[in-house]
């Protein structure tokens, strides 16, 4: 017998293209992006996207500064203000800088530079100034860098070259490597170098940058200095200016980036896995927390309502009987209306993820990696489908449509609004506290019993990706898949058994 998909498509269109669905989808996308933007600006004002690296050469009281001001995508900052401060907080120099900068000034008597403050777009960072030589050496070199202040996206260090141990002169090179995109193996390299053997301070050396796959995990979290040569495919970079900024390509399969000066035996070895592209980290973690949470907590209202209009109401008014008089079985009808709801979950989840992606591209200039987008989409789709399946079951089992609304709204409030309180009370009753790793694990376990929060289990992988959570041993893809399937299939089957009763 000829079957048609027309009813499924039609039910989908009726569900998705209804004003309530579309309005709420738009509202939650806008609210999600807005909330994420708010959280982002708050966090970035604390941790700051303002970056700089610099070397100060102090010869008697004459100070020469070479530095670079850049943002967290490695692009030059054109409106930064640099303030050099003494240990007592006295302002020694305040000047505007744009991208790479060279500054020269005289130091007041009995004053030393203790800190450097960089301000851009209302965000500021105060950086300590470190001496690279004993203070009696002339000229004496100091450095400051933001990678120590905000090290989750960049790593750097200071390398020496052709150093005369007696006069303590030679080339000192400070660098910072900022991961831009891990999937394509792109990093931004900022280099500041001075040769104190020369009066013009000009360096002349070749910097080698390469990557390698190292199976043994070194102890240092971000960067360590290796005294042994490391086999890698190196790209040579001539450093014949005091300031060099460049983009570096590395093999994304590799887990380490090695930076060394040609001819030197010391190499800076950077653990790429410990670094996250700063911008995508901040934007991603903001969107994934506030934006997604808002959507996941409130958009299920749409599915509560869809189960009402697709099943509870027509069942109560007898409209389903009129459809059942067509060449369909109860199974066909039950399945058709369920599938249309699943399609709405599929499309709205996809739209939400794409909208966030577009918003992050427009507002922050980055897009999510395919992995993050997929995890976000799956979390939304599974969470919404599981909740729809649950509401569908209630609609099948309860005769009156108002009875359905009462029960489903109470359960929604329980699962979406008061669940956090329940989790908190359980944690308190176990004496576990809320900030331990055990508590985190317990929270995920409690969420297994909530069809809306099941998406949290999938989002675990995104939080893990951004390093926002420590690995939890019992969570693995098989468990996540099984629990998701059970939350979708079990209410669906129970609902059908209730539905087919006359």
Partner 1 sequence: MYVLFSVEDVTRYFGRFKALDNISFNVDNGEIVGYVGLNGAGKTTTIRICVGVLRPSSGDVVVDGYSITRQKREASFQIGWVPELPIFELNEKALDYFVYLAGYYGLSKDEARRLGKELFEQVGLSKFMNRRLKHFSLGMKKRFALAVSMINDPRNFFFDEVLNGLDPKGIAFFRDLVKIFKREGRAVLFSSHILSEVENIADKVVFIHKGRIIAVKSIDEIRSMARPALVIRVSNPDDKLAKILEKYGDVRVKGDKYILFYKEQPDKNQILRELIDNGYEVEEFRTARTSLEKVFFRLIGMEAGEK
Report the interface residues with partner 1, using CB under 8 A. Answer: 1-7, 10-11, 14, 314, 317-319, 321-329, 332, 502
Beta bridge partners of 83: 94, 117
Report whether 83 contacts 91 (CB < 8 A). Answer: yes
Count of Cβ atoms closer than 10 Å to residue 467 Cβ: 14
CA–CA gap between residue 55 and residue 81 (Å, rounded): 17
What is the Cα gyration radius of the chain? 30
Q: How far is CA 482 from the centre of its chain?
A: 27
CA–CA gap between residue 334 and residue 318 (Å, rounded): 14
| Least distance in angstroms from the C-beta of 501 to partner 1 | 10
| Least distance in angstroms from the C-beta of 288 to partner 1 | 37
User: Which residues touch 390 (CB under 8 Å, ≥6 apart)?
Assistant: 411, 451, 487, 491
Q: What is the 3-state secondary structure (H, E, C) of 16-71?
A: HCCHHHHHHHHHHHHHHHHHHHHHHHHHHHHHCCCEEEEEEEEECCEEEEEEEEEC
- Cα–Cα distances in Å, from 262 out to 135, 158, 169, 234, 492? 28, 14, 18, 10, 66
Whose Cβ is closer to partner 1: residue 304's or residue 310's? 310
| Least distance in angstroms from the C-beta of 12 to partner 1 | 11
Q: CA torsion angle for 310, 313, 317, 320 (degrees, to 10)?
A: 20
| Least distance in angstroms from the C-beta of 310 to partner 1 | 10
CA–CA gap between residue 440 and residue 251 (Å, rounded): 35
| Least distance in angstroms from the C-beta of 300 to partner 1 | 23
Whose Cβ is closer to partner 1: residue 6's or residue 362's? 6
Whose Cβ is closer to partner 1: residue 182's or residue 313's? 313
Place of tokens 């992995």: 371
Beta bridge partners of 193: 173
Report whether 283 contacts 176 (CB < 8 A). Answer: no
Place of tokens 């600006």: 41
| Least distance in angstroms from the C-beta of 312 to partner 1 | 12
Whose Cβ is closer to partner 1: residue 5's or residue 30's? 5
Whose Cβ is closer to partner 1: residue 309's or residue 490's? 309
| Least distance in angstroms from the C-beta of 287 to partner 1 | 36
Report whether 164 contacts 76 (CB < 8 A). Answer: no
| Least distance in angstroms from the C-beta of 179 to partner 1 | 52
Strands 186-195 vs 233-239: parallel, antiparallel or unpaired: unpaired
| Least distance in angstroms from the C-beta of 443 to partner 1 | 42
The strand order across the sheet containing 243-249 reads 154-164, 169-181, 186-195, 243-249
CA–CA gap between residue 92 and residue 81 (Å, rounded): 13
Among 53, 36, 5, smallest CA distance to 149 is for 53
| Least distance in angstroms from the C-beta of 392 to partner 1 | 17
| Least distance in angstroms from the C-beta of 8 to partner 1 | 8
């Amino acid at each position: 017998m000829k079957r048609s998909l027309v009813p499924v498509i039609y039910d989908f269109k009726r569900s998705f293209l209804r004003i309530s669905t579309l309005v709420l989808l738009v509202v939650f996308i806008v609210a999600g992006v807005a909330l994420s933007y708010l959280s982002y600006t708050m966090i970035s004002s604390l941790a700051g996207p303002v970056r700089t690296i610099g070397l100060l050469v102090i010869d008697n009281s004459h100070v020469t500064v070479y530095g670079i001001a850049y943002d967290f995508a490695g692009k030059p900052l054109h409106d930064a203000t640099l303030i050099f401060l003494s240990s007592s907080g006295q302002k020694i120099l305040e000047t505007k800088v744009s991208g790479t900068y060279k500054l020269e000034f005289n130091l007041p008597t009995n004053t030393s530079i203790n800190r450097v403050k960089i301000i851009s777009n209302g965000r500021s960072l105060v950086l300590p100034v470190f001496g690279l030589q004993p203070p009696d050496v002339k000229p004496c070199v100091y450095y400051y860098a933001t990678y120590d202040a905000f090290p989750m996206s960049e790593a750097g260090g200071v390398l020496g070259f052709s150093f005369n141990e007696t006069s303590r002169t030679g080339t000192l090179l400070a660098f910072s490597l900022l991961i831009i995109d891990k999937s394509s193996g792109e990093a931004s390299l900022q280099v500041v170098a001075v040769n104190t053997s020369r009066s013009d301070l000009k360096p002349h050396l070749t910097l080698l940058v390469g990557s390698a796959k190292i199976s043994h995990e070194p102890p240092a979290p971000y960067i360590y200095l290796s005294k042994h040569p490391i086999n890698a495919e190196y790209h040579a970079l001539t450093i014949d200016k005091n300031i060099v900024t460049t983009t570096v390509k590395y093999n994304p399969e590799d887990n380490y980036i090695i930076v060394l000066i040609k001819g030197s035996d010391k190499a800076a070895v950077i653990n790429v896995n410990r670094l996250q592209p700063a911008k995508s980290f901040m934007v991603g973690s903001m969107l994934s927390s506030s934006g997604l949470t808002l959507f996941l907590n409130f958009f299920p209202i749409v599915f509560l309502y869809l189960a009402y209009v697709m099943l509870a109401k027509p069942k109560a008014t007898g409209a389903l009987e009129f459809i059942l008089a067509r060449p369909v079985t109860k199974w066909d009808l039950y399945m058709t209306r369920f599938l249309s709801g699943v399609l709405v979950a599929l499309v709205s989840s996809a739209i939400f993820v794409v909208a966030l992606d577009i918003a992050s591209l427009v507002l922050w200039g980055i897009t999510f990696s395919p992995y993050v987008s997929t995890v976000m989409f799956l979390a939304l789709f599974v969470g919404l489908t599981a909740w729809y399946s649950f509401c569908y079951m209630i609609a099948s089992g309860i005769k009156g449509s108002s009875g359905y609304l009462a029960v489903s709204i109470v359960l929604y409030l329980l699962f979406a609004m008061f669940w956090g309180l329940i989790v908190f009370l359980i944690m308190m009753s176990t004496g576990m506290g809320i900030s331990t790793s055990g508590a985190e694990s317990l929270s995920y376990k409690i969420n297994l019993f909530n069809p809306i929060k099941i998406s949290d289990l999938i989002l675990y992988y995104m939080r893990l990706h951004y390093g926002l959570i420590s690995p939890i041993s019992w969570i693995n893809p098989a468990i996540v898949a099984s629990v998701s399937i059970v939350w979708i299939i079990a209410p669906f089957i129970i609902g059908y058994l209730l539905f087919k009763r006359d």
